[in-house]
A and B are shown apart, each in its own frame.
Chain A
């Protein structure tokens, strides 16, 4: 429907394309790499989005001098608001890395990082999408409790998240600054914030990112 060509042959993809993205499940990837290795050249740009498969593992399965990069995307790529990080392998050249980054920026924000940050990205931003959903749902439910219809509450909750995120990204200020800017003395916001603090939201959120990151590390060792 998007107008792309499809094929049953993995090798055909390598033979027709210079930049190839491996978007299989992680456990399938080693077999696929072994299959296409014979047709890989030094000119190919090979990109893996498989969670937990390290650059060294990828490089081992491919011919020497193969240019390999890893990308950790997240779901909002589907609406062109992804938060992505990428790491380059030993032989990936700067121009090819830049090419990939330019390509990915069509789907959101993308930055090159040391490979060590990729698991953290998974915890923060991959899983983070779910954490934000939980928060959005909870905001809405608070509103429903206070008398607002469900559909309206959910819509406003999501828009609030979007608007706040946009402000944070555009102004570049520290979130704490925006928070304090919104809190008038003895006002509604500070009362609400106090309740949040009493509920231990911050610690829970830190723990969530920690847990997801640790699991990502654990999985990548298997």
Chain B
């Protein structure tokens, strides 16, 4: 089986790394295409042994399973370009990176902050991060496995007059809940904005794609230039490819 990625960014990198690490697939069976070869993610993919090309059509020809790992507003143009080359044998997977990727970033930010709290109270950084991450993991697992309402699970952890309920009060005072609601709303609204920007363009697909990417970068310099994902490291956003480690 061969796998292709349209787009050679964070997502392609993460999935490729996952497939190869799990032994499902060897890297030479993977191809990724990107108009830009200067990205750190491209280098990372190359180092893994993944095939790289500038041609989306070549990726389609090479793959049995094809991941569309580009920003949502680009997807229509990709489909325009490669639509004709997609056959019945292909499995096309679209990874609409809207809320999902944002949630992951929010989780990292929350984790970072939790770790800061731990460090302030005297824990070594690495331990603080591990404890925080494990707590997040455990809580998420409990929630997914349980029929109970998250608020009920929260109640179960808050013993009367205890540490948790005291901490919770601070979270409420800081407007924690509304912050999260605002963040999700902002990310969805922006995604839709970007999508409608794309819908309104009338130039050729290739020129369009480049124009949009440029415009998106111009409007939000921190978008699309994140450092490569690697497990165990905390990410910080920066406008320079190859961002700093925390």
Q: Which residues of A contact B (CB under 8 A)?
A: 174-177, 180, 194, 197-198, 200, 202-203, 206-207, 210
Contacts and interface: CB of A to CB of B under 8 A. Distances in A.
Main secondary structure of the interface of A (DSSP, over half): helix
Given A194-B178, A194-B181, A200 B173 contact: yes
B47 interface: no
- By Cβ-Cβ distance, the 4 closest A-B pairs, closest first, are A176-B151, A203-B172, A197-B178, A203-B173
Contacts of B175: 197-198, 200, 203
B173 A174 contact: no
Interface of B: 149-152, 155, 169, 172-175, 177-178, 181-182
B169 A177 contact: no
A180 B175 CA distance: 19
B169 A203 contact: yes
B151 A174 contact: yes
Contacts of B181: 194, 197
A174 B177 contact: no
A203 B174 CA distance: 8
Given A194-B178, A197-B177, A206 B172 contact: yes
A148 B174 CA distance: 33
B160 to A, nearest CB: 9
A180 B149 CA distance: 9
A177 B152 contact: yes
26 contacts: A174-B149, A174-B152, A175-B151, A176-B149, A176-B150, A176-B151, A176-B152, A177-B149, A177-B151, A180-B149, A197-B175, A197-B178, A198-B175, A198-B178, A200-B173, A200-B175, A200-B178, A202-B172, A203-B169, A203-B173, A203-B174, A203-B175, A206-B169, A207-B169, A207-B173, A210-B169
Given A174-B155, A177-B151, A180-B149, 14 more contacts: A175-B151, A176-B150, A177-B149, A177-B152, A194-B181, A197-B177, A198-B178, A200-B178, A203-B169, A203-B173, A203-B175, A206-B172, A207-B169, A210-B169
Nearest to B181: A194
A207 B173 CA distance: 9
Contacts of A176: 149-152
B172 A200 contact: yes
A37 B167 CA distance: 47
A155 to B, nearest CB: 30
Contacts of B174: 203
A123 B177 CA distance: 25
Nearest to B154: A176
A202 B152 contact: no
A207 B170 CA distance: 10
Nearest to B180: A197
A202 B150 contact: no
Contacts of B177: 197, 202
Contacts of B155: 174
Contacts of B178: 194, 197-198, 200
B164 to A, nearest CB: 13
A206 B172 CA distance: 9
A54 B182 CA distance: 47
A175 B174 CA distance: 22
B143 to A, nearest CB: 13
Contacts of A207: 169, 173
A174 B132 CA distance: 28
A93 to B, nearest CB: 28
Contacts of A203: 169, 172-175
A203 B167 CA distance: 11
A197 B172 CA distance: 9
Interface centre among A174, A175, A177, A207 (most CB of B within 10 A): A174
A47 B100 CA distance: 60
Contacts of A194: 178, 181
